[in-house]
Structure 1
């Protein structure tokens, strides 16, 4: 009996299992208790930094190895560019960890962006609050056109949700986003692994 199909099946099964465990770890890292001094700070959990560093080292290392000691007839410029591209994507996760930090207060949100300047948006200046379920973030749109994206991954979402619900008029918040914010306020954070 030919069992050649078992190897690819085992590889796919191991990949799915590894991703499930990894995403579960990342999602759980948002639930850790935080010091009271950090209550108003929205920032990525350490798992974001760890995954960014591991990915950057792995992919940039693979790009180097594929052009030096591991060079063979299957190594092409596309192999190298793929590894470099994935390394750059991992580097963006590192940049996001350090730059995309927000501070919320009763008056509004002081926001940071992965690439670009910091800014401030007052709750009273919001014209729309919605979420992008594919990208896993809340979007705050100001009357001036300013958009602030608040990742579902950030620590501090319950406090963010509480302040949005307390200070932003309901007619500005889309109904399905209102449900997510009410759940987040109670500690039921939006899914990041679906």
Structure 2
């Protein structure tokens, strides 16, 4: 049995609309400004904000994972894939700032599983069953247990 983890369509919509909005503001600012330095600076700031929304779009397309009882086939934000066998996972921890679970294998490769992914409860159940008991710290074990019941880690606090 294999389970797909993927971002919801809302991630693509929010990322695309945010990027388009800030790029549009950058263009309007650049075209309508009267003071050259202020116009360039404002347009640059809006352009940077638009670029900051693009990783959300990239995640939607590339950060898709296949989880089975034997392994996890994971995708990375900017392309590239990897496979990690559960028997090779040496550590699973939760990153509170990024809101994802980080799996690390014996060769120090990392897979990042966002808490917003569709299929997270199934991932949590498999991770709890297949990962070595000493790979999980108490906090991560508690968060995975809650996620397996459908209660995702809190995003805003």
Give the TM-score band, short-chain normalised.
over 0.9
Deviations 1:59-96 (A, max 9, x none): 0001110111x213373322111111111111221111
Which position in structure 2 is the counterpart of 1:82?
45
User: Across the two proteins, how many residue pairs are aligned to each other?
Assistant: 156
Which position in structure 2 is the counterpart of 1:133?
96
Which position in structure 1 is the counterpart of 2:74?
111
Q: Secondary structure at the match of 2:129?
A: helix
RMSD of aligned residue pairs (Cα, Å):
1.5
Report whether the alignment pairs 1:154 with 2:154: no
Contact 1:63 1:83 in 2 (8 A): yes
Which runs of no fewer than 5 residues in structure 2 stay unpaired? none
Q: CA deviation at 1:55?
A: 0.6
Higher strand share: 2
1:114-193 matched pairs, under 5 angstroms: 114-193=77-156
Contact 2:91 2:135 in 1 (8 A): yes
Deviations 1:114-170 (A, max 9, x none): 114111001100111101111101000000110111111111110000000111121
Which runs of no fewer than 5 residues in structure 1 stay unpaired? 1-36
Contact 1:131 1:138 in 2 (8 A): yes
Q: Secondary structure at the match of 2:108?
A: coil
Matches of 1:82 and 1:123, distance apart in 2? 43
Contact 1:66 1:75 in 2 (8 A): no
Q: TM-score, normalised by structure 2?
A: 0.94
Contact 1:96 1:114 in 2 (8 A): yes
Q: Point out the structure with max Rg over C-alpha.
A: 1
Which position in structure 1 is the counterpart of 2:33?
71
Which position in structure 2 is the counterpart of 1:91?
54
Contact 1:153 1:192 in 2 (8 A): no
Deviations 1:84-116 (A, max 9, x none): 111111122111111101110001110000114
